[in-house]
Chain A
């Protein structure tokens, strides 16, 4: 694939295509991004993507706060992956400052990180069902998701922004009296998982709307540096937990899940993304179970007092990289510390949607406008992490499509093909 094919300019489209803008309200998730689609009839022949409507300058703000304050800010980058950013950020700072993390803290970080994957993947599955017009499945999925949210609240005190990791360890323990709640939730999910797989993967209308829709080939995924379930659905066996283990993942054998694990041929379409995410829920449950059963005893923080921690960080100098496999893919934080300075001298955050942005283009090309919501939702985009849709029709006339109109088109297509 050459660069031209992934950078079609709206202004250069032939007179036989027209431009339709969708946005600024997102057609799939309630976050802002603008797409400009070049259409030939109903077929998408070009797309231009403009993010940035949710850019809040968090890195800039973080570089004006001390490291502990910046940690809480990192937690507020995203409400859904609200532990993924702190996990990567703490690791980057710990690597730069040479701070050790006690084994028990590593396991607790892993448990909360995997619980986040369970709730995030189920959230996505519900959104996907809604985009297809299958609201019964949306409500079922989100009802099932509540169990993980309740457990997170029991273990951390919060449904989002858990405030668990801190440099050198974790802030809260998982006491014995709370562990039975976790086991109870795991049993609940184990009993329901096959039903979820049946509801999504054995449903004729879901299959008809997602098979061969939004295809990203293996080569495109590698070339465009896609991450997470978006890349794995295309057969790219890339998962930070497997490739470069960290925390408790180094004590277990985590495997990158691809559609092969379900026994089907890898196509790289939306259906494959459903397969990967549902199997990953099962994988997360196994990981949480392993962590609970093998939870080491010992301290929670190697530097328990915050003033001592701040003093240690102020003395540190160096660079560090922290990586975590978030529900949507690789999160990486780069930090540079300077001696005598409380703030990070440099901080760069990379969220998974940032890497998957380019992968959207080949996924949209060749598909219909009615497929826009499900394809847009398929990479599980997160604008607040990274940062509207604009369709362009064959005569070059721009027209706006609202989220409601697009969802209506998508639902009409489901009814049409299901007779």
Chain B
């Protein structure tokens, strides 16, 4: 796998919005060790859609999941893709990271280029209160319909605890 070439193609496609990259090489196997790669790039929020569109156009990616990480005054989103599936040792994980300030939790949808990302995007809307612009369906997926809490936000833990308490009280009420 030509890691440098992959990173260069992203740098050219994204320009100054491409912030940093790193490669983690891991040896696997006990008899005849092989190498697998975890690739990570960080991009500006404005370039996220372009980065995913470039990935889809060039590398036929699979999206595993989008993970979120509350890092204080911002929420970091890691879009975990895998590229190169179909042959032995052909695959590497490819994570695109972008950081959203809590004052402006807005990100464009990537479902127009990769429809399979919808489940994960809907989860991020409800659990972090992120506005995913352009998503075809923004209803709550895992949380109850109409719930407005965002359980994975560390700054909203009090509100979440209060709402969970209210729901438990309602569920265990005397008929």
- Interfacial residues, chain A to chain B (CB-CB below 8 A): 1, 3-4, 6-7, 50-52, 55, 57, 59-60, 95, 103, 106-107, 222-227, 237-238, 240, 242-248, 250-251, 253-254, 256, 296, 319, 321, 323, 330, 332, 334, 336, 345-346, 348, 350, 354-355, 357-358, 387
Per DSSP, chain A at the interface is mixed
User: B82–A244 contact, CB under 8 A?
Assistant: yes
**Selected contact of B116 from candidates A223, A238, A251, A321, CB within 8 Å:** A223
Whether A60 contacts B152 by the Cβ 8 Å rule is yes
CA distance A336 to B67 in the complex (A): 11
Question: For residues 50 through 73 of chain B, which have their beta carbon under 8 Å from a beta carbon of chain A?
Answer: 60, 62-65, 67-70
Instruction: Provide the residues of chain B in CB contact with A225, threshold 8 Å.
Output: 62-64, 114, 116-117
Interface: B15 (CB within 8 A): no
- Which A residues touch B163, using CB under 8 A? none
Q: Are A224 and B115 in contact (CB under 8 A)?
A: yes
Nearest B residue to A387 via CB reads: B142
Across-interface contacts of A256 in B (CB, < 8 A): 86
| B68 and A348 contacting across the interface, CB-CB below 8 Å | yes
Q: Which residues of B contact A (CB under 8 A)?
A: 24, 26, 28-34, 36, 38, 40, 60, 62-65, 67-70, 78, 80, 82, 84-93, 95, 111-112, 114-120, 136-137, 140-145, 151-152
Complex CA gap A248/B34 in Å reads 12
Chain A residues, CB < 8 A from B30: 103, 106-107, 248, 250-251, 296
**CA A243 to CA B91, docked complex, whole Å:** 5
B151 touches A60 (CB 8 A): yes
In the assembled complex, which residues on chain B have CB atoms less than 8 Å from the CB atom of A350?
Answer: 64-65, 80, 120
8 interchain pairs, CB-CB under 8 A: A6-B115, A95-B38, A224-B115, A224-B116, A225-B64, A243-B85, A251-B32, A354-B65
Nearest neighbor of A59 in chain B, beta-carbon distance: B152
Q: Within 8 Å CB of A336, what residues of B?
A: 69
Instruction: Please state if B36 and A346 are interface contacts (CB–CB under 8 Å).
Output: no
B137: chain A residues within 8 A (beta carbon): 7
CA distance A244 to B92 in the complex (A): 7
- Residues of B close to A334: CB separation below 8 A: 65, 67, 78, 80
How many Å lie between the Cα of A374 and that of B145 in the bound state?
28
Complex Cα distance A45/B60, Å? Answer: 30
**Which residues of B sit under 8 angstroms from A238, Cβ to Cβ?**
62, 85-86
